[in-house]
Structure 1
Amino acid sequence: MFEILPMNAETFRRQTRRSTVIIALIFLALAMVLSTTAVALFGEPGGDNLRFNVGGVFVAVLLMAALMRGRFWNEAWMAPAVYGWRLKRSLMSVTNVMHQVTAAVEKQDPTAMKLLRFYHLGLSQMHELDANSSDHSQLTREMDQHKARMEALGLDTEQTRLNPAWLEAVKQQASH
């Protein structure tokens, strides 16, 4: 279950830039070392060693993927980037069923209304964290209208957690 956490946007951007630079530098070092090693072991002096250079880079990509998931993913310096990835992934899971969500919201389905409220809150935070203000005024209007509908029905508007059961319920309702 994903939960939207309060986060300072400036700090988030600074920390994610830092983790991106660290990952890029590690990748570059691995790619250079592995390519150089592959050419030294298997290449021909003065020959065409492109395939060994490319092979070294490919192995570096695989190694970085393994390091990201196995080692770096749980490191404190990666936490903001991981949070951002999880936020975007959670929003995408709602986006994938948005037509079903909006149809159920029109029928005042409480589960769909909670799901849409989570989506609005998450999207608003994502825009803030990414410093993307282009669509924010339109989103704010939609959020305010939806919040008012929820309040009129007596539903809790603080939907900061994405309950996977809500997604399943909306999918099930649409299939009937």
Structure 2
Amino acid sequence: MMFRLESVDARQYRHKSKRVGWTMAALLLVFGLAFSQLLVQSFGSSFWLNALGVLLGLLATSLIFAWWRRRPDMAEVRYVTRLKQHLARVSAHLSTLRQASRQGDVRALDLLAFYHQGMAQLETLEGRTMDDDAERLAERLELRKQRQLHGLPEEVAGFDPAELDAFRRSEPRT
């Protein structure tokens, strides 16, 4: 299924992301303590009962988060999570993609373009800047030149995991 790059309000994303983080931490603390106290009062004091209480607290917090993240107001958080997952998949093959792009492989050029666009968007959304990374800036410039040379648009609309899978199957094994 195609993953499309979307426009996301960075301020709104950071606000929701912080809210989710603090809420989950508070829920874990409350549930962990509550379950631990309940188990200790019921069965006596034990390190293992306290650990089980924390584990049950983690499970309860995870279930609440699983329900909460499906809500429509969490769309930005879901989008960024999926973006990070796709970037991680592509980054696992960066060296091979870079080599194939130097040889003019259009599929590799598309995947690298997605990677750079996604990383730039992620930096913006999380309020970070990596513009002082000369190596990455040089790679972006080279990628832009390669895409122009092959008549490809500067940017891609998104990422199709099937393209990465097809690239992986066709890459030479060493």
User: Shorter-chain-normalised TM-score: which range?
Assistant: 0.7 to 0.9
How has the CA–CA distance of structure 1 residues 136 and 7 changed in structure 2, closer, same or farther, with 3 Å as cutoff?
farther
Specify which of 154, 158, 166 is matched with residue 157 of structure 1: 154
The residue type equivalent to 1:19 in the other structure is: V
State the match for 2:24 in structure 1. 23
- Taking the aligned partners of 2:17 and 2:73, their CA distance within structure 1 comes to 8
The residue type equivalent to 1:62 in the other structure is: L
State the match for 1:103 in structure 2. 99
| Root-mean-square deviation (Å) | 2.0
The 5 Å alignment of 1:7-156 reads 7-43=8-44, 48-69=45-66, 71-135=67-131, 137-138=133-134, 139-156=136-153
Identity of counterpart residues, as a percentage?
A: 25
Name structure 1 gaps, 5 residues minimum: none
Q: Contact between 2:33 and 2:53, CA under 8 Å: does it hold in 1?
A: yes
C-alpha deviation, 1:77, in angstroms:
4.2
Q: Contact between 1:2 and 1:161, CA under 8 Å: does it hold in 2?
A: yes
How has the CA–CA distance of structure 1 residues 32 and 77 changed in structure 2, closer, same or farther, with 3 Å as cutoff?
farther
Specify which of 165, 169, 173 is matched with residue 168 of structure 1: 165
Q: Contact between 1:104 and 1:170, CA under 8 Å: does it hold in 2?
A: no
- Taking the aligned partners of 1:13 and 1:136, their CA distance within structure 2 comes to 23
SS of corresponding position for 1:175 = coil
C-alpha deviation, 1:127, in angstroms:
1.3
The residue type equivalent to 2:142 in the other structure is: Q
Q: Contact between 2:87 and 2:119, CA under 8 Å: does it hold in 1?
A: yes
Q: Contact between 1:91 and 1:123, CA under 8 Å: does it hold in 2?
A: yes
The residue type equivalent to 2:57 in the other structure is: A
Q: Contact between 1:39 and 1:52, CA under 8 Å: does it hold in 2?
A: yes
Residue correspondences, number: 171
- Taking the aligned partners of 2:116 and 2:127, their CA distance within structure 1 comes to 16
Provide Cα deviations, 1:50-87, integer angstroms capped at 9, x if missing partner: 32222100111123233333x12212343333222211
C-alpha deviation, 1:147, in angstroms:
1.8
C-alpha deviation, 1:135, in angstroms:
4.7
TM-score using structure 1 length = 0.86
The residue type equivalent to 2:101 in the other structure is: V
TM-score using structure 2 length = 0.87
- Taking the aligned partners of 2:141 and 2:13, their CA distance within structure 1 comes to 26
